[in-house]
């Protein structure tokens, strides 16, 4: 009896340590994800051939069989995963999120779960995800997979709110569709090395309460296959279940200018804002409405100040090259990150919330003050009461600045009118 009790206590202890190390692991990978701060989102698939964004099949009411024929002509002759990842690295990105299968249902890897994929259905026959995963590894970039829950091609997918999608109850079969998704996720997690995250999208096709996406089981499968793979879901709501990070589409956390974030509150989980450089995710030949490079730097920095990662999108062309403007922007961001990256990577949103002049990021007792906007009279006010300011200097050059204690914080005097995209100060805090 005694022996039994002893081994029972032992196994209980082992179980407790296991649970403990699991949470420690989760905490660690979430932290590492937050440290990376800047990622590149890639929307690429056979839709790029029609050069009108990734929703073209839906928006132009294209017949699914006719659309599928595009695959027979998809030959991205200039695709070079190494060239892409080299550029992303130069831009200062630390991870890449790639559309493994978008709403159109076409898979960009050698999946055995459906012949509608890059290897079996195109003359290109190369496993794009295989090449990309290899190239990311070489550059030390983490690879994340976007994966669509919704599918416009498969007849077993139970179409929901989608207006222009075929609704055929006679072929709908949730069980086969669910099994198909899990088989694909298993391949993605078993065949391409360590994966940083699965990024789900499209769940909003079914908002009815009674529709059960069976996320719990799917998330458990992901964690079983790769315990260090994070889960995020662009369902436009607050995070649920085992989700590790919260997504914001086209908006910084707390904003809702694009109308996708109305239903969510900013959570304590790691945050990620995804954004297009122009107005479209997939390649568009007409969309030249690119944001200015400096403006994108400001958004990246503001995201960091709001404790969020910034995932910046590119829609590669059908030949496998990246749009010229996107390349130019990446290089521009890269030259900024090279010099100023240490005030962003590995930081968290600073203890001083966003101000009219900009934002703060923080690493231990170092507060980085990012002046992004115009200031009055060459000075800024830093609201800070719980802690003391021990020292303030310019990030570039380390010139010591004078500051004055006021009731609600500190007034910092700048040596010149800030006239660069992000005028950074490095402050040392001291707890009184
Ligand atoms: C939306 C769009 C989808 C895009 C995604 C990226 O959900 O439907 O096409 O991939 O946003 O955030």
**3-class DSSP state for residue 7?**
helix
CA distance 53 to 86: 25
Please identify, by atom number, the ligand 1 atom nearest to the C-alpha of residue 148: 10
State if residue 274 touches ligand 1 by the CB under 6 angstroms criterion.
yes
CA distance 40 to 32: 16
What element of type H or E holds 72? none
Which pair of structure tokens corresponds to residue 210?
A: 């009674």
User: Any residues with CB less than 8 A from the CB of 234 and at least 6 apart, and which?
Assistant: 199, 200, 201, 202, 203, 247, 249, 274
- Mean pLDDT of all residues in the chain? 94
CA distance 304 to 368: 11
What ranges do the domains of the chain cover?
22-346, 350-430
- Asked if residue 39 has pLDDT above 90, the reply is yes
In degrees, rounded to 5, the angle at the alpha carbon of residue 206 between the alpha carbons of residues 251 and 144 is 50
pLDDT above 90 coverage of the chain, percent: 89
Please identify, by atom number, the ligand 1 atom nearest to the C-alpha of residue 103: 9
Please identify, by atom number, the ligand 1 atom nearest to the C-alpha of residue 53: 9
What CATH number has the domain spanning 22-346? 3.20.20.80
95, β-bridge pairs: 39, 142
> How far, in Å, from the CA of 201 to the mean position of ligand 1?
7
- pLDDT tens-digit map of 125-146: 999 999 999 999 999 999 999 9
145, β-bridge pairs: 98, 198
> How far, in Å, from the CA of 146 to the mean position of ligand 1?
10
> How far, in Å, from the CA of 150 to the mean position of ligand 1?
11
- pLDDT tens-digit map of 219-266: 999 999 999 999 999 999 999 999 999 999 999 999 999 999 988 999
pLDDT band per the 50, 70, 90 thresholds, residue 175: very high
CA distance 165 to 159: 7
pLDDT band per the 50, 70, 90 thresholds, residue 22: low
**Pairing, β 95-101 against β 38-42:** parallel
State if residue 249 touches ligand 1 by the CB under 6 angstroms criterion.
yes
Domain 350-430: CATH superfamily is Golgi alpha-mannosidase II (2.60.40.1180)
Is 53 within 8 Å of 101 (Cβ atoms)? Answer: no
Q: How far is CA 157 from the centre of its chain?
A: 26
State if residue 234 touches ligand 1 by the CB under 6 angstroms criterion.
yes
> How far, in Å, from the CA of 406 to the mean position of ligand 1?
47
Q: pTM to 2 decimals?
A: 0.94
Please identify, by atom number, the ligand 1 atom nearest to the C-alpha of residue 274: 12
pLDDT at 207: 87
pLDDT band per the 50, 70, 90 thresholds, residue 1: very low
Could you give phi then psi for residue 136, rounded to 5 degrees?
A: -65, -45
- Asked if residue 83 has pLDDT above 50, the reply is yes
pLDDT above 70 coverage of the chain, percent: 95
- pLDDT tens-digit map of 331-376: 999 999 999 999 999 999 999 999 999 999 999 999 999 999 999 9
Please identify, by atom number, the ligand 1 atom nearest to the C-alpha of residue 99: 10
State if residue 79 touches ligand 1 by the CB under 6 angstroms criterion.
no
pLDDT at 372: 98
């Amino acid at each position: 009896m005694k022996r039994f009790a002893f081994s029972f206590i032992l196994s209980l202890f082992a179980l407790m340590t296991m649970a403990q190390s699991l949470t420690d692991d989760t905490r660690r990978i979430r932290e590492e994800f937050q440290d990376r701060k800047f990622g590149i989102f890639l929307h690429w698939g056979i839709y790029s051939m029609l050069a009108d964004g990734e929703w073209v099949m839906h928006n132009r009411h294209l017949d699914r069989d006719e659309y599928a024929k595009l695959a027979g002509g998809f030959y991205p002759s200039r695709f070079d995963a190494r060239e892409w990842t080299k550029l992303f690295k130069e831009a200062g990105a630390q991870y890449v999120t790639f559309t493994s299968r978008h709403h159109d249902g076409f898979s960009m890897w050698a999946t055995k779960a459906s012949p509608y994929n890059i290897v079996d259905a195109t003359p290109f026959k190369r496993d794009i995800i295989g090449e990309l995963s290899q190239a990311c590894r070489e550059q030390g970039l983490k690879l994340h997979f976007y994966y669509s829950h919704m599918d416009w091609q498969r007849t077993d997918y139970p179409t929901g709110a989608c207006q222009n999608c075929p609704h055929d109850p006679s072929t709908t079969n949730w069980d086969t569709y669910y099994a198909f998704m899990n088989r694909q996720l298993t391949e993605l997690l078993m065949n391409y090395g360590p994966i940083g995250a699965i990024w789900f999208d499209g769940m909003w096709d079914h908002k009815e309460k009674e529709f059960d996406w069976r996320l719990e089981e799917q998330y458990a499968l992901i964690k079983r296959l790769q315990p260090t793979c994070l889960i995020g879901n662009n369902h436009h709501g607050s995070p649920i279940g085992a989700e590790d990070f919260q997504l914001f589409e086209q908006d910084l956390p707390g904003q809702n200018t694009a109308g996708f974030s109305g239903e969510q509150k900013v959570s304590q989980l790691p945050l990620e804002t995804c954004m297009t450089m122009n107005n479209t995710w997939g390649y568009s030949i007409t969309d030249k409405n690119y944001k200015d490079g400096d403006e994108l730097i400001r958004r990246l920095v503001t995201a960091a100040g709001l404790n969020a990662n910034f995932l910046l999108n590119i829609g590669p062309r059908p030949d496998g090259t990246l749009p010229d403007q996107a390349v130019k922007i990446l290089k521009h961001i890269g030259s900024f990150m090279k010099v100023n990256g240490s005030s962003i990577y590995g930081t968290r949103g600073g203890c001083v919330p966003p101000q009219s002049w900009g934002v703060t990021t923080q690493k231990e007792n170092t507060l980085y003050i990012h002046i992004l906007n115009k200031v009055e009279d060459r000075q800024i006010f830093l609201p800070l009461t719980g802690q003391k300011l021990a020292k303030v200097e310019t990030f570039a050059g380390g010139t010591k600045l004078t500051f004055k204690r006021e009731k609600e914080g500190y007034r910092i005097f700048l040596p010149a009118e800030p006239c660069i995209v992000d005028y950074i100060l490095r402050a040392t805090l001291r707890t009184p």
